[in-house]
Amino acid sequence: MSNKKDRETKEIKNLLDPKYARNFWRTVGNAIANRPAVKPISTLDKEGNPTKESEIETSVYLRLSKDLKTLGDPNCTEPTELEMIIASQMVMARTNPSSAAFIRDTLGAKPVDESKVDASINEFDSLTDEELELLAKHREQRKEGEDNEKE
């Protein structure tokens, strides 16, 4: 299949098949998130000083780079975009509620609203052993009656 035909097929699937589209974009997003991060570019405020975000990005990049060198993996020498995002959000979470929520949710610690949990009540929990035995006998007799009618 030619490259053009392959792209056209993928575009059609992307438009018509939501499951394919989610998987496709998830794959693209993961590929981008796992590439080496772009080195920080210092941004300055109107007075010529580095912005808070710029300082955090530079600090996080240097720290992650140092950690990766300490680990000694020759294939992993630069932080990935995903590592930069999570590490930067971790630093920002100290003073920024939305960053704190991002970290909380990413780590799986998001609180569950108990009022929205569907509570199902087990009717058999309140029955005594004797009542359960009678119910089992009744069901067995009814099943035997149905089997006799079939014959």
Question: Could you tell me the residue ranges of all domains in the chain?
Answer: 3-109
Alpha carbons within 13 A on the beta-carbon side of 28: 7
Statement: residue 54 has pLDDT above 70: yes
The pLDDT value recorded for residue 82 is 92
Strand partners, 78: none
Q: Could you say which DSSP state residue 145 is in?
A: H
Farthest-apart Cα atoms in the chain, separation:
95
Tell me: the pLDDT tens digits for 109-148?
888 777 766 667 788 788 888 888 888 898 888 888 777 7
pTM higher than 0.75: no
Of 48-52, 61-65, 88-92, 105-109, the one with minimum mean pLDDT is: 105-109
Q: Are 73 and 66 in contact (CB under 8 A)?
A: no
For the segment 8-22, the average pLDDT, to the nearest whole number, is 81
DSSP structure class, residue 93? T
Distance between CA 67 and CA 88 in Å, rounded? 15
User: Residue type at 131?
Assistant: E
Question: At residue 77, does pLDDT exceed 90?
Answer: no
